[in-house]
């Protein structure tokens, strides 16, 4: 049974430069079939951008999406976890900050992402949230 963040996190997370335009980032997310990427430059983590951020903060703002930089629409990282933190610690941080994803940081560098869905699946394969989280996404 998984007890640590490293047991359930998505390792080697996709990251994009803060200078990329949101169209390029959206295409990368589509091509990799993911809903969130880290916004980082070298080893500096600037934020996390979700598909919802791209739509709500990017497209809905009415600016040219080919000129809008992802740094302007990403969410600030308000909490992180370490790979050896417990799943309870990750869940507590998500609850405290009202977030669904946490970057996993080791030695100051992002090495993964843990999501609410990851926690749900780890907690029990029979739960409704685990079923939803494990289901194939809409295409």
Contact between residue 101 and residue 81 where contact means Cβ atoms under 8 Å apart = no
pLDDT level of residue 115 (50, 70, 90 thresholds): very high
pLDDT digits 0-9 by tens, 40-50: 987 789 999 99
Query: Beta partners for 52?
Result: none
Distance CA 3, CA 51 (A): 29
Contact between residue 49 and residue 39 where contact means Cβ atoms under 8 Å apart = yes
| pLDDT surpassing 80 at residue 136 | no
* Per-residue confidence (pLDDT) for residue 128, from 0 to 100: 47
pLDDT level of residue 129 (50, 70, 90 thresholds): low
pLDDT digits 0-9 by tens, 86-107: 999 999 999 999 999 999 999 9
pLDDT level of residue 5 (50, 70, 90 thresholds): very high
Fold designation for 5-134: CBS-domain (3.10.580)
Closest-CA residue to 114 (of 139, 80, 137, 138):
80
Residue carrying structure tokens 């049974």: 1
Angle at 139 between CA 37 and CA 63, to 5 degrees: 55
Structure-token pair, residue 105: 């940081």
At 64, which helix (H) or strand (E)?
none
Of 138 and 12, more confident: 12
Name the average pLDDT for the chain: 88
Contacting residues for 52 by C-beta, under 8 A, at least 6 apart: none
Phi, psi of 112 (to 5 degrees): -175, 180
* Per-residue confidence (pLDDT) for residue 44, from 0 to 100: 84
Residue-range domain boundaries for the chain:
5-134
């Amino acid at each position: 049974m998984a007890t640590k963040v490293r047991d359930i996190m998505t390792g080697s997370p996709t990251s994009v430069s803060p200078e990329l335009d949101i169209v390029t980032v959206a295409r990368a997310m589509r091509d990799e079939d993911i809903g969130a990427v880290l916004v980082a430059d070298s080893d500096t983590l600037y934020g996390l951008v979700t598909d919802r951020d791209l739509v709500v903060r990017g497209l809905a703002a009415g600016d040219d999406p080919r000129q809008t930089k992802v740094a302007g629409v990403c969410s600030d990282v308000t909490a992180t976890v370490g790979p050896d933190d417990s799943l309870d610690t990750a869940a507590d941080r998500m609850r405290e900050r009202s977030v669904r994803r946490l970057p996993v940081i080791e030695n100051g560098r992002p090495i993964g992402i843990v999501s609410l869905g990851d926690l749900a699946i780890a907690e029990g394969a029979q739960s409704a949230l685990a079923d939803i989280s494990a289901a194939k996404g809409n295409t």
